[in-house]
């Protein structure tokens, strides 16, 4: 049985300042939902149980989009394993439990494709979860996300709480993190090539061998998926969200260089970690349920680079 949000429904977007949360807010407002509860980190630390309980007691949100998370690339995951595990476990546990305790009608939890085993068959089907060892460079984040989606399943089974989980592939778009220390590969490449153009650099270093393959989804497509499944889906099985198509890091670097206008050399540093060899989602479940993405990688790269240039002063660098 689907749950339908109304224009005046009280909707809490946890993590609304982040790339994913802000995209969900844009999508909600464009669809006519204006009764949004938006609290930044200063107003509400989601790691603090008492604060989360007090907020739910006061505002009684009916629908919850759980987009808040501590995220980062390979370097950040390697350097801060305790932070990634602890902070994400706290955020998820506090929000999911408070939503159930205060009778929210529905909660949508966002996981990540890194939850799947490192050497699972490709493309990755939802049922491959917990069938093998994780990729060591992001296992702390992955373990937290697995706990989150299992918590949603458990609360549905034990309490009948309508909590659903979506597993998006690698995301990019407006509001991305361009900090070279802890960003993901796509925004890092945009910044590297842009600055190489500014300083007339003859070459740009790209981490790894260039051979791993990755799938990329524009964050506005994910936001549309969130609204679609919040309306149309009510089941404990997670749903993969992506294109079902991937690209090598080397080809991605070439594509970003073309969009930015950089024509120098690309130097791949194979001493840096590659991460999972391939991470392609099987999106047939989402397709069968009636949802498909719309923004191609070419269109999305051009839009994201335009956003970066326009908002560089305020972007996360």
Express each pLDDT in 83-141 by its tens digit.
999 999 999 999 999 999 999 999 999 999 889 998 899 999 999 999 999 988 889 99
Sequence-separated (6 or more) residues with CB below 8 Å from residue 10: 35, 37, 59, 60, 61, 62, 63
CA angle at residue 50 from 45 to 51, to 5 degrees?
35
- What is the per-residue pLDDT for 138? 85
pLDDT band at 210 (very low <50, low <70, confident <90, very high): very high
Q: Which is the catalytic residue, given 63, 116, 141, 262?
A: 141
Binding residues for substrate, by number, are 192, 207, 214, 274
Radius of gyration of the chain (CA): 19
Residue that is written with structure tokens 């490449």 in the block: 189
According to CATH, the superfamily of the domain at 11-176+216-245+280-295 is NAD(P)-binding Rossmann-like Domain (3.40.50.720)
pLDDT score recorded for residue 316: 60
* Residue 240 predicted with pLDDT over 70: yes
Q: Is 155 a catalytic residue?
A: no
Phi, psi dihedrals of residue 80, rounded to the nearest 5°: -125, 55
Whole-number Å distance between alpha carbons of 268 and 249: 10
* Predicted confidence (pLDDT) per residue in 2-54, tens digit: 458 999 999 999 999 999 999 999 999 999 999 999 999 999 999 999 999 99
What proportion of the chain, given as a percentage, has pLDDT over 90? 85
Residues annotated within a binding site: 15-21, 110-113, 145, 168-171, 184, 192, 207, 214, 274
Binding-site residues for NADP(+), in ranges, read 15-21, 110-113, 145, 168-171, 184
Residue 310 pLDDT > 60, yes or no? yes
Q: Which pLDDT value is given to residue 3?
A: 56
Ordered by start, the domain boundaries in the chain are: 11-176+216-245+280-295
| pTM more than 0.85 | yes
* Predicted confidence (pLDDT) per residue in 251-272, tens digit: 999 999 999 999 999 999 999 8
Q: What is the pLDDT of residues 59-74, one digit of tens each?
A: 999 999 999 999 877 7
CA distance 219 to 226: 10
pLDDT higher at 226 or 317: 226
């Amino acid at each position: 049985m689907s749950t339908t949000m109304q224009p005046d429904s009280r909707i809490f977007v946890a993590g609304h300042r982040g790339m994913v949360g802000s995209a969900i807010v844009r999508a909600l407002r464009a669809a006519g939902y204006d009764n949004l509860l938006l609290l930044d980190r200063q107003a509400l630390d989601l790691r603090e149980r008492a604060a989360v309980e007090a907020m739910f007691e006061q505002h009684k949100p009916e629908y919850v989009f759980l987009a808040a998370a501590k995220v980062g690339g390979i370097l950040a995951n390697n350097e801060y394993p305790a932070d990634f595990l602890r902070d994400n476990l706290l955020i998820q546990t506090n929000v999911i439990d408070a939503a159930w305790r205060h009778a929210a009608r529905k909660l949508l939890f966002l996981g990540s494709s890194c939850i799947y085993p490192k050497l699972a068959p490709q493309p990755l089907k939802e049922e491959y979860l917990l069938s093998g060892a994780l990729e060591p460079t992001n296992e702390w984040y992955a373990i937290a996300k697995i706990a989150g989606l299992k918590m949603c399943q458990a609360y549905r089974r034990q309490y009948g709480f309508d909590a659903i989980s979506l597993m998006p592939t690698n995301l990019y778009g407006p509001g991305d993190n361009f900090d070279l220390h802890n960003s993901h590969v796509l925004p890092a490449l945009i910044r590297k090539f842009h600055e190489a153009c500014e300083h007339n650099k003859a070459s740009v270093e790209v981490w790894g061998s260039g051979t791993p393959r990755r799938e990329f989804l524009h964050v506005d497509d994910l936001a549309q998926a969130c609204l679609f499944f919040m309306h149309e889906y009510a089941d404990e099985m997670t749903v993969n969200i992506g294109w079902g198509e991937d690209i090598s890091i080397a080809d991605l670097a070439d594509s970003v260089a073309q969009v930015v206008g950089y024509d120098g050399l690309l130097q791949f540093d194979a001493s840096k970690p590659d991460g999972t060899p391939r991470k392609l989602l099987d999106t047939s479940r989402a397709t069968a349920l009636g949802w498909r993405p719309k923004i191609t990688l070419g269109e999305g790269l051009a839009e994201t680079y335009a956003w970066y240039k326009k908002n560089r002063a305020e972007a996360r660098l």
